[in-house]
Structures are given as C-alpha cells and as structure tokens.
Amino acid sequence: MLRSIDVALLVQDARKMLQRPFQTVAGWISLFVWLLAAAHSARPVPGAALASAKDHQIKAAYLFNFAKFVEWPKAVFADASSPITIGVFGRDPFGGDLELMVRNKTAGGRKVEIKRFEQTEGLAACQILFIPAVEEDRWPEIFAAIRNSTVLTVGETARFIEEGGIISLTPAGKKVGITIDIDAAERARLVLSSHLQNLAVIIRTGRPKQRK
C-alpha cells in the first residue's frame, strides 16, 4: 500500500513541476508523461484511497493537460481571446487545486478558467467537464444537457464510458489509468493528440447509447 507520506511527496513534486515555465509542447508532454509514470509506479493507491484529496490533485493536473492535448472546433470560441473552460459538476473534490494548476498558464494560447456547476444549465459551454463518481445518479440529465456539444467529458469510474463519457480516470489493476472512447470523442468533434492517445487505453464503443 502506498503510504500517505509517499503520496504527499508525489503531489509536492507535481506541484513544483507545474510551477515551471514549460513553454514548448515537448515540455508539457514530458510533464504529462511524468505524472502518468508517477501514478503508475510507486505502489499505486488501492480502492477507496483513490478518492482521496491527494489523488484528486493528480487528476487536477490531468485535466489541465487534457486542455493542452485536445483540439476543439474553432467555432466553439467567440474569438482568439476566449478561454478554455474546465467545468466541475456537483460535489467538487478538488478544492483550490484546479485553480492552482491553471494559474498564469495557457493552453493552445488561451487562458484556462474553472467553473463549478450544481445544475445542468450552461454545461454545454464548457470545453472540459469533470463529473465526480458521486454524481453518477445524474449522468442521464448531464449527458442530455450536453448532447451534440463539443464537451470533453471526464469521469472516474469504468461505467462512465459505458454510459457515454469520453475519458475515464480509473484504477487499472495496481495503477491509475486513462481510458478514452475515441468514437465518443469523434462524435463530439474533438481531435485528441496522438501523444495523449499513446498514453491511454483506446476503446471504440460504436454508436451512442440510446436514451429515452
């Protein structure tokens, strides 16, 4: 089992790296690879411990890096100064960690802003939407609200992708893995970098799940 001190050191190292001025794509790829390697090595956190605050600090870093490696249709943004919006629906597991990750940084030349939602109104305006596992009962209304949108949905259970999500951050054996439904991404008109795809398990679910 990964000791709490090991997790604390991992998060501390991640925060230090995120404060460095990575100005190139290669630099951000190196950081992203480091985060994945760190999560996949040092005796990963099992079961319930993956829902800890420290685990979500790592997931916060993933969310910001997704903004680096995903391309949205140009029409999504009003103009060149429009920010990339990362939304968090319902119970927020991050505290202030997302703000820390995006502070004074850009993705694709755009600023990144964080918004939190208790209701589904306005979700379709996000570029990335994180839906915590505790909000599973509200998946149907969430997916209905963003149907036909260009939102990159990110969850943290295996069923998330089965129900229509695009990316899932979940335990994979003894590690934290990234799974991507590339068909769902294509339906959302999103282009995922090959670098991101190479770091993930890619699946194809075919047609979207039919909902009543």
| Total count of residues recorded for the chain | 212
Number of separate helices (H) and strands (E) present in the chain: 8, 10
Closest C-alpha among 62, 56, 6 to residue 32:
62
DSSP letter string, 36-53: HHHHHSSSPPPGGGGGSH
99-139 tens-digit pLDDT: 999 999 999 999 999 999 999 999 999 999 999 999 999 99
Give the Cα separation of 37 and 189 in Å (integer).
Answer: 29
Closest C-alpha among 6, 66, 55 to residue 31:
66
Instruction: Enumerate residues 6+ apart whose C-beta is below 8 A from 129.
Output: 86, 87, 88, 89, 123, 142, 146, 151, 152, 153, 154
pLDDT of the residue at 206 = 76
pLDDT of the residue at 172 = 67
- CB-count exposure of residue 210 (10 Å: 0-12, 13-18, 19+): exposed
Q: 4-203 domain in CATH 1.20.272?
A: no
Give the Cα separation of 193 and 3 in Å (integer).
Answer: 34
Cβ atoms of 42 and 124 closer than 8 Å: no
Lowest mean pLDDT among 39-43, 77-81, 179-183, 192-196: 39-43
Give the predicted TM-score (pTM) of the model: 0.76
Look up residue 34 and give its two tokens: 């480091």
Domain range summary for the chain, segments of one domain joined by +: 4-203
The mean pLDDT of 154-173, rounded to a whole number, is 89
Q: How far apart are the first and last CA of the chain?
A: 43
Cβ atoms of 155 and 165 closer than 8 Å: yes
Average pLDDT, the chain: 80
